[in-house]
């Protein structure tokens, strides 16, 4: 129920909506009703620490929700990354809250709903980041909801005495709140689209595959994050390393007794040993037999959530956000064969793959080759698999995405506009200001530079609104021709199979791995086929990253060498390289922010 909803542009008062837990008073801002910091669950501290979320305590009277609520505990970005990414901190315990932007807080409006799940490597970020302002979506007829959820060890630590994935359980609780409450804000609970970037997209992949989330949303957008589950031992190693530094048992009970600031500092120190590019132990979503009963990618490829329409994509130069800010790009170029061997270990591939990339990109340096290899292995290969699983069926009903004798379609995009910040290219997270139509905001300009094209924001934001409204973003659904909508310089256009040649290298590698006898440890390739590890153990870098990879190359700026080494010589080096351990340590030197 909503009351006092007259727009102050016409000269009246603040909007008030009665939720199942109590009434909330928001603000009208430029004709849009905005409610910030609305609790969807109780504060996750005290007896609730490391436990599944519980409903908030009901309140009497009208609760003011004019300002953003508390943000979950998180470490700050390193200085170099903070120059590019905003991450405000709002103190307080009541951090399981959400925000609503709506053009019509009236139950009769029945508008499409979009629920935003932010990225940040499952260790940083919040719904209060200014880039995620929901005014433009509400302006264009969508009820926009953005949520906070627990991060880092609080949300994704793996303990013997607590349930796994509490941060993902928070997201589920927020979606349940949307189902029960969003109609009171003018939204249609039968037309909910979830969308997220990086770790937020990975979270959506897990929710798509979760039987417990069935019916809570009807379309999904996954930006620069594939469906995946982290190796449980990788997550346990993060907890054990923290426990060793803290000198406490690796249990939820013991961690709950540690000072919160000390816990965050310890998490940041241990997290510097990992990165999306280099791997290592990290926090991430794990298969738990409950909320995440099996590997999300395999579940989705085999038909889970087949009736949910998908919009999937990536940026052209994802890796540059991780390699450029702290000079790691130049270091990787300088290390040449050592860096390439590390990438082969990271991707569990033989030398045929990097040789194929070099043939396709003869002008590129080692760092660009390594970055594109790892991006394809971790991101484009699994997202192509997911799109392929949707591309062979009949077209879905445009009104509901319900498959007509098949699966709901997938639409695929690539963001290719290069940042005006030197060296970043079309890097990870750059598309966010264009999706939210906040590209002109100072916080977006930190990553995009000045002069971001408004016409590109109009095109990309408009496509997301159309997808949420009727399931069609404005270009052909995925099929055997692999149509990809490219948002770059000039008008958006469709290219067919722009990465097919690179992805064919991974298919060939999978076939080779399946045909050769096992000579050592093997691991399932992200694309689903077994690929042997063929490099020396001294160069092995733990693979696949998982949602929580969290190193910050920007903190690794000391002694950054310039000058490129690599080229064909790096590809002609023996596969079993035994480089000095010091060289490998230079390649893996600790830094700060990982997958956003």
Indicate which residues carry an active-site annotation. Answer: 198, 318, 428
Measured in degrees and rounded to the nearest 5, phi and psi for residue 229 equal -125, 140
Q: How many CB atoms lie within 10 A of CB 23?
A: 17
Q: Is the dihedral of CA 267, 540, 372, 204 positive or negative?
A: negative
24 neighbors 65 (Cβ within 8 angstroms): yes
The torsion of the CA quartet 123, 544, 272, 257, rounded to 10 degrees, works out to 50
For residues 5 and 23, give the distance between their C-alpha atoms in angstroms, rounded to a whole number: 13
For residue 221, the cross-strand partners are 195, 311
Rounded to the nearest 5 degrees, what angle is found at the Cα of 174, between the Cα atoms of 168 and 175? Answer: 95
548 neighbors 199 (Cβ within 8 angstroms): yes
For residues 343 and 276, give the distance between their C-alpha atoms in angstroms, rounded to a whole number: 11
Half-sphere exposure of residue 149: CA atoms within 13 angstroms, side-chain side: 29
315 neighbors 371 (Cβ within 8 angstroms): no
Q: Which two structure tokens, joined as six digits, stand for 120?
A: 């940040």
155 neighbors 170 (Cβ within 8 angstroms): yes
Rounded to the nearest 5 degrees, what angle is found at the Cα of 446, between the Cα atoms of 443 and 448? Answer: 105
296 neighbors 227 (Cβ within 8 angstroms): yes
The widest CA-to-CA distance across the chain, in whole angstroms, is 77
Measured in degrees and rounded to the nearest 5, phi and psi for residue 560 equal -70, 120
For residues 157 and 282, give the distance between their C-alpha atoms in angstroms, rounded to a whole number: 9
DSSP SS3 for 499? coil
Residues 6 or more apart from 233 whose CB is under 8 A from it? none
546 neighbors 234 (Cβ within 8 angstroms): yes
For residues 532 and 19, give the distance between their C-alpha atoms in angstroms, rounded to a whole number: 54
Of the candidates 1, 109, 77, 81, which has an alpha carbon nearest to the alpha carbon of residue 323? 81
Residues 6 or more apart from 444 whose CB is under 8 A from it? 130, 131, 432, 433, 438, 452
């Amino acid at each position: 129920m909503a009351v006092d909803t007259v727009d102050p542009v016409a000269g009246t008062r603040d909007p008030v909506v009665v939720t199942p837990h109590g009434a909330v008073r928001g603000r009208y801002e430029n004709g849009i009703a905005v409610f910030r910091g609305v609790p969807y669950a109780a504060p996750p501290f005290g007896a609730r620490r490391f436990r599944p979320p519980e409903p908030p305590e009901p309140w009497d009277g009208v609760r003011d929700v004019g300002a953003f609520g508390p943000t979950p505990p998180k470490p700050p970005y390193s200085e170099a990354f903070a120059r590019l990414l905003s991450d405000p901190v709002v103190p307080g315990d009541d951090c399981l809250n959400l925000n609503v932007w709506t053009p019509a807080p009236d139950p009769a409006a029945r508008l499409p709903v979009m629920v935003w799940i932010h990225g940040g490597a499952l260790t940083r970020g919040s719904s209060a980041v200014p880039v995620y302002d929901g005014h433009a979506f509400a302006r264009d007829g969508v009820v926009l909801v953005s949520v906070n959820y627990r991060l880092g060890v609080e949300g994704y630590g793996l303990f013997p005495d607590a349930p796994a994935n509490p941060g993902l359980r928070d997201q589920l609780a927020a979606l349940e709140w949307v189902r029960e409450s969003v109609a009171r804000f003018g939204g249609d609970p039968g037309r909910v689209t979830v969308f997220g970037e990086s770790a937020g997209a990975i979270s959506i992949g897990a929710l798509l595959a979760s039987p417990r989330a069935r019916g809570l949303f009807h379309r999904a957008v996954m930006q620069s994050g594939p469906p995946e589950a982290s190796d449980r031992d990788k997550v346990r190693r993060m907890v054990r390393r923290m426990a060793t530094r803290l000198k406490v048992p690796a249990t939820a009970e013991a961690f709950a007794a540690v000072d919160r600031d000390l816990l965050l500092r310890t998490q940041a120190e241990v997290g510097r040993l990992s990165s999306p590019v280099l791997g290592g132990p990290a926090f991430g979503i794990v298969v738990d037999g409950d909320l995440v009963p099996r590997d999300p990618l395999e579940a989705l490829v085999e038909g889970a959530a087949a009736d949910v329409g998908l919009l999937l994509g990536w940026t052209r130069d994802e890796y540059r956000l991780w390699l450029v800010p702290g000079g790691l790009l130049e270091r990787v170029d300088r290390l040449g064969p050592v860096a390439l061997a590390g990438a082969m270990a990271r991707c569990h591939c033989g030398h045929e793959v990097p040789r194929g990339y070099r043939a396709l990109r003869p002008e590129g340096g080692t760092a660009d080759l390594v970055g594109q290899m790892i991006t394809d292995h971790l991101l484009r290969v699994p997202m192509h698999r997911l799109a392929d699983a949707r591309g062979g069926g009949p077209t879905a009903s445009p009104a509901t995405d319900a498959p007509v004798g098949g699966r709901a379609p997938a639409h695929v995009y690539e963001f290719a506009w290069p940042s005006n910040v030197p060296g970043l290219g079309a890097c990870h997270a750059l598309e966010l200001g264009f999706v939210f139509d906040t590209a002109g905001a100072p916080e977006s300009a930190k990553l995009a530079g000045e002069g971001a094209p408004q016409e590109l924001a109009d095109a990309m934001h408009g496509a997301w609104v159309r997808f949420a409204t009727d399931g069609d973003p404005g270009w052909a659904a995925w099929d055997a021709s692999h149509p990809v909508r490219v948002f770059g310089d000039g008008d958006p256009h469709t290219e067919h199979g722009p990465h097919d040649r690179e992805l064919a290298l991974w298919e060939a590698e999978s076939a080779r791995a399946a045909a050769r006898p096992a000579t050592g440890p093997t691991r399932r390739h992200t694309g689903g086929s077994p690929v042997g590890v063929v490099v020396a153990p001294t160069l092995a870098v733990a693979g696949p990253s998982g949602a929580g990879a969290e190193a910050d190359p920007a903190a690794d700026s000391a002694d950054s060498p310039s000058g490129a080494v690599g080229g064909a010589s790096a590809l002609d080096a023996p596969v079993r390289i035994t480089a000095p351990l010091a060289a490998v340590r230079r390649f893996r030197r600790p830094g700060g922010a990982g997958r956003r």
